[in-house]
């Protein structure tokens, strides 16, 4: 009996040792492959003329190596359940499959950074939440899919080859066969814990976490640290937090506050109870008696970036008929989007929510009390959503009507109204939206004000345009931005197409019978990938910038047009201007008012990006992370440029309260 137990134990022990050696001999080539991809990513996206200290590059490569080792070692630990017992052939197949997954994820991360200027984040799940066929077609047309797959297969094959060579050289079945059992035991313990600590990423400190991705003052370099596996893991974590509304304090806690009262106190809001805080978030100054209600037409323009407007000139026309309207507009030129994607920005604007996706589940099936269309409809307006895209995208046709829009007009509606319209990847050409709007506004009853929210789609990859569109010649020497993108010229054409249509519509309103009773406003949903990586500190502020424009008769634009602002400020500005009252959230400030001296915490001129970043007149940073601050300003001044702890605290409080407002109201 004893000999049987001994043989079983010996067999198990030898199998465990075999599995440990196999695991480590898989970890090593995986780390090599992921590191090579990171170095390639650095070289591929390195901006011309960009200079950083060599020490920073070394720091990024080393920190990236630590994350590569972490994810590879974790896989090794998990595979200990099977590696000790499978055949050599099965071991090779496991190595090949894991290598392809890891390599492919990191190559996807590379292309994702090129598109969104960030490693993989929660927007990646749009592949299944958007029109999947349209997304895949765009990827096929806009990215080197075949070459990426071939590279992934090649790197995976090289990883497996290295794994096999290491196995042949250090054969786990014979390496320790003649050694004493005590030596084998020591080796097993050391190798096992080495694998465990490699998965932790450190010996003494806390395990490598998201905050350890920030290792330099250059966000461009920091974005090179995560491999595709760890980036996807953190994206999944963020998505889980956004989808679970059961804990109303989740966002506040992440911003460093124990409760809503503490955050409200930082902002100088009433904070005697949660009810007081809730009331303060939707309290507004009364409008002047007899203030007329004006029509409000709001455009969320696809990829309407701010940077091309900086170079507008007769020989570099990117605005078309929009250019002459700017002299009569309130143009907020130092303005950021709320999110890096269309649907997240749409939700941030309509629902004052840093949580996204918010309305794909149960939350979208019941009215959100402070939703902008609901507030406006309750104020006596007819509400209309118009888009050149298909409204089935992200369930907009269902969600928008629940949230206060009387009617949703989309690509299918426009195709029915205009049979000659062609349905493309994302919908019909934007020109049909503007044709429809002109007729619809002309037929609107005088005694019924209307709110129209317009979402365009043509200025979107792959940047197709109607066959009859006349491309505008441009002197590309006047483009002051980066020129690395091979779609830059195509993107400038589609940008001009959309901006020109908007300009024609604005001119029509300004010259027609609705000029005194109608406000027109426009912004972009996000910046666009073709215009640069924005690695240089002095250009970093442009990363999220989109214009915000308001046209209306007799506007007093005030002194805030060049101050930092963002999407959160738009409807706090537009609704009072249109004569609309209601329980909309004070997500930002009224940009037409004078800035106090000193400004109050809730009216301070700052911008917020709802993924957890903020920007003031000196620079930008990740909330709660002083080490992430980078001096970057449209004012080109470096005076007093340093991290401001008070600004950070107030922005964390604002973000936390907006998050709490959503979770507290919508939790089941």
Q: Which of 242, 460, 449, 271 is nearest to 356 (CA)?
A: 242
The pTM assigned to this predicted structure is 0.85
Looking only at the bridges linking them, the beta strands covering 382-387 and 407-409 are parallel
Q: What is the pLDDT of residue 26?
A: 83
Q: What is the pLDDT of residue 129?
A: 59
Tokens of 482: 């980066």
Cross-strand partners of 622 = 613, 625
Q: Which of 332, 579, 301, 349 is nearest to 456 (CA)?
A: 301
Specify the 3-state DSSP secondary structure of 300.
strand
How far apart are alpha carbons 120 and 113 in whole angstroms? 7
The dihedrals phi and psi of 32, each to the nearest 5 degrees, come to -60, -45
What angle, 0 to 180 degrees and rounded to 10, lies between the N-to-C axes of helices 54-79 and 181-200?
120
How far apart are alpha carbons 638 and 608 in whole angstroms? 21
**SS3 labels along 585-612:** CCCCCCCCCCCCCCCCCCCCCCEEECCC
Q: What is the pLDDT of residue 553?
A: 94
Side-chain half-sphere CA neighbours of 294 within 13 A:
24
Looking only at the bridges linking them, the beta strands covering 450-455 and 382-387 are parallel
Q: What is the pLDDT of residue 134?
A: 64
- Strand blocks (E) in 501-603: 518-524, 548-551, 565-566
How far apart are alpha carbons 384 and 220 in whole angstroms? 40
Q: Is the dihedral of CA 362, 367, 371, 374 positive or negative?
A: positive
Looking only at the bridges linking them, the beta strands covering 613-615 and 619-622 are antiparallel
User: DSSP character for 146?
Assistant: H
How far apart are alpha carbons 525 and 304 in whole angstroms? 7
- Residue listed under structure tokens 């998505």: 239
How far apart are alpha carbons 141 and 133 in whole angstroms? 12
pLDDT digits (tens, 9 = 90+) for 588-639: 999 999 888 788 899 999 999 999 999 999 999 999 999 899 999 887 766 7
User: DSSP character for 165?
Assistant: H
Q: Which of 300, 170, 221, 292 is nearest to 57 (CA)?
A: 221
- The stretches in the chain having pLDDT less than 70 are 1-16, 126-135, 138, 171-195, 197-199, 201-206, 241-243, 637-638, 668
Q: What is the pLDDT of residue 424?
A: 76
Judge whether 579 and 292 are in contact, CB under 8 Å. yes
What angle, 0 to 180 degrees and rounded to 10, lies between the N-to-C axes of helices 54-79 and 228-243?
80
Judge whether 151 and 36 are in contact, CB under 8 Å. no
Q: What is the pLDDT of residue 598?
A: 83
Q: What is the pLDDT of residue 124?
A: 78
Specify the 3-state DSSP secondary structure of 125.
helix
Judge whether 661 and 348 are in contact, CB under 8 Å. no
């Amino acid at each position: 009996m004893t000999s049987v137990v001994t043989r079983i134990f010996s067999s198990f022990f030898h199998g465990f040792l075999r599995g440990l050696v196999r695991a480590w001999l898989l970890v090593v080539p995986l780390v090599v492959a992921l590191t090579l991809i990171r170095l390639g990513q650095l070289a591929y996206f390195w901006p011309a003329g960009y200079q950083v200290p060599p020490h920073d590059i070394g720091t990024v490569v080393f920190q990236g190596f630590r994350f590569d080792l972490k994810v590879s070692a974790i896989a090794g630990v998990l595979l200990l359940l099977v590696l000790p017992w499978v055949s050599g052939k099965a071991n090779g197949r496991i190595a090949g499959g894991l290598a392809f997954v890891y390599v492919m994820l990191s190559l996807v991360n590379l292309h994702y950074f090129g598109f969104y200027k960030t490693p993989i984040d929660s927007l990646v799940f749009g592949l299944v939440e958007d029109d999947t066929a349209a997304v895949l077609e765009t990827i096929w047309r806009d990215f080197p899919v075949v070459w990426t797959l071939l590279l992934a297969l090649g790197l995976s094959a090289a990883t497996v080859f290295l794994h096999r060579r290491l196995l042949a050289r250090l054969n786990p079945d014979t390496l320790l066969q003649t050694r004493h059992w005590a030596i084998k035991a020591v080796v097993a313990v050391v190798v096992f814990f080495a694998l465990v600590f490699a998965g932790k990423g450190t010996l003494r400190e806390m395990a490598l976490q998201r905050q350890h991705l920030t290792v330099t003052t250059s966000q461009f370099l920091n974005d090179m640290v995560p491999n595709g596996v760890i980036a996807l893991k953190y994206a999944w974590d963020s998505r889980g937090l956004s989808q679970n509304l059961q804990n109303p304090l989740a966002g506040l806690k992440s911003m460093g506050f124990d409760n809503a009262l503490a955050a409200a106190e930082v902002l100088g809001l009433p904070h005697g109870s949660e009810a007081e805080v809730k009331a303060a978030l939707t309290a507004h100054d009364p409008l002047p008696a007899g203030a007329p209600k004006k029509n409000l037409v709001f455009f969320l323009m696809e990829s309407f970036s701010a940077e091309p407007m900086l170079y507008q000139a007769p020989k570099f026309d990117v605005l078309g008929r929009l250019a002459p309207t700017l002299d009569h507009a309130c143009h907020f030129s130092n303005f950021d989007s709320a999110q890096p994607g269309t649907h997240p920005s749409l939700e941030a604007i309509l629902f004052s929510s840093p949580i996204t996706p918010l309305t794909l589940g149960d939350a979208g099936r019941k009215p959100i009390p402070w939703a902008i269309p609901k507030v406006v409809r309750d104020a006596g307006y007819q509400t209309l959503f118009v888009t050149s895209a298909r409204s089935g995208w992200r369930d907009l046709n269902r969600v928008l009507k629940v949230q206060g829009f009387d009617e949703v007009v989309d690509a299918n509606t426009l195709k029915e109204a205009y049979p000659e319209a062609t349905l493309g990847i994302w919908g019909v050409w934007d020109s049909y939206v503007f044709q429809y709007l002109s007729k619809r506004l002309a037929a609107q009853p005088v005694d019924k004000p209307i709110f129209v929210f317009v979402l365009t789609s043509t200025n979107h990859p792959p940047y197709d345009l109607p066959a009859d569109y006349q491309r505008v010649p441009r002197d590309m020497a006047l483009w002051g931005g980066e020129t690395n993108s091979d779609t830059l010229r195509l993107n400038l054409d589609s940008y001009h197409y959309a901006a020109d249509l908007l300009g024609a519509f604005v001119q029509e309103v300004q010259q027609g019978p609705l000029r005194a009773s109608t406000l027109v406003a426009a912004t972009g949903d996000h910046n666009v990938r073709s215009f640069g990586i924005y690695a240089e500190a002095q250009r970093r502020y442009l990363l999220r910038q989109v214009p915000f424009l308001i046209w209306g008769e007799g506007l007093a634009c005030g002194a805030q047009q060049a101050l930092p602002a963002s999407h959160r400020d738009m409807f706090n500005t537009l609704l009072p201007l249109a004569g609309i009252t209601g329980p909309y959230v004070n997500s930002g400030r009224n940009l037409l008012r004078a800035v106090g001296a000193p400004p109050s915490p809730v009216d301070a001129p700052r911008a917020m990006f709802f993924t957890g970043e903020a920007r003031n007149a000196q620079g930008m940073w990740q909330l709660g992370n002083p080490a992430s601050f980078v001096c970057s300003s449209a004012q080109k001044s470096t005076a007093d440029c340093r991290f401001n702890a008070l600004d950070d605290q107030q922005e964390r409080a604002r973000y936390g309260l907006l998050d709490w407002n959503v979770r507290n109201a919508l939790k089941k």
